[in-house]
Amino acid sequence: MSFDTLGLALLFRFSPETAHGLSIAALKAGLGGRFDAGFDPRLASTVCGLAFPNPLGMAAGYDKNAEVPDALLRLGFGFAEVGTVTPRPQPGNPKPRIFRLPDDRGVINRLGFNNEGHAACLARLKARASRGGIVGVNIGANKDSDDRAGDYVEGVRTFAPLASYLTVNVSSPNTPGLRNLQSRESLADLLARVMAARDESAQTGANRPPVFLKVAPDLSEAEMDDIAMEVLDKGTDGLIVSNTTLSREGLIDSRTGAQAGGLSGRPVFRRSTAVLARLRQRVGPGLPIIGVGGVEDAQT
């Protein structure tokens, strides 16, 4: 049995959320190791003025509170995205709220933006600001907010001075009503306010981070039309496709699959990639798109 297989077997003795916490603790303790082999220069790219050493990043959702972005970069990731972070701390949904589907190589979560809030995340990012590397910040809205678009504006104002890029996450299925922000009228208002806040922040500081919109994989053709038009109209810098899916199509483990929440891993790959392709057709070749969902190897 290899070391990796043994480690995975040990982690599977714990609940998914406990295992997640243990992995964060291990990285904080310096047990993650370091990738020192260097990257093939052919993997490098410059997107929105950011020089990525390689195209493989750690998506938001793993390091919710910006505890280990540098440890992730040392592992060899070309970039790390922390969050989702909301203005005020919130506990998220009741436990258990993460479910493994090993036969499907997937996970269902209904975490609900559990995080320590802007202040805690900002303090950690300030402490590592001189270390370099591309670290994006994924911003969201509090579950009980009366002005969800205002929460995103607050996120932009808080993190624009430090973030390599910002992600506007309107695609989590675990905050009731959040995906409604992807509708044409709501998205137009949200993006107008967010982009204005980013530009205002840039006037008072040196940093002008690109803004990406993260969307769901469960979009209709009409919804994709609306998203593409608003992203282009409001000057959004790029898209991230996609978040988790509500679909359970083709699952082997239908019993666990009946759990509520967003499905990630291998089962979302085909759906996420299809939405990415359709949005690419709509926005044209020039707008950057970061693909997320079911990435397991160089082929995916």
Burial of residue 47, with CB atoms counted within 10 A of its CB: 0-12 exposed, 13-18 middle, 19 or more buried: middle
Give the whole-angstrom CA distance, residue 223 versus residue 278: 11
Handedness of CA 17, 219, 134, 83 (dihedral sign): negative
* Per-state percent for the chain, helix, strand, coil, to nearest 5: 40, 15, 45
Q: Nearest-CA neighbor of 292 among 183, 192, 169, 129?
A: 169
- From 171, 172, 242, 264, the catalytic residue: 172
E strand or H helix at 11, and its extent?
A: helix 3-11
Token pair of 285 as six digits: 């070749």
Nearest to 171 by CA among 158, 162, 180: 180
CA–CA separation, 109 vs 163, rounded Å? 26
Contact 240, 257 (CB under 8 A): no
* CA angle, 257 then 265 then 230, to 5°: 105
Look-up of token digits 């299809």: 274
Dihedrals φ, ψ of 154, to 5°?
-60, -40
Q: Whose structure tokens read 């300030």?
A: 126
H helix intervals, 54-162: 69-74, 118-127, 148-159
Question: Tokens representing 208?
Answer: 């002008």
Concerning whether 172 is annotated as a catalytic residue, the answer is yes
Active site residues: 172
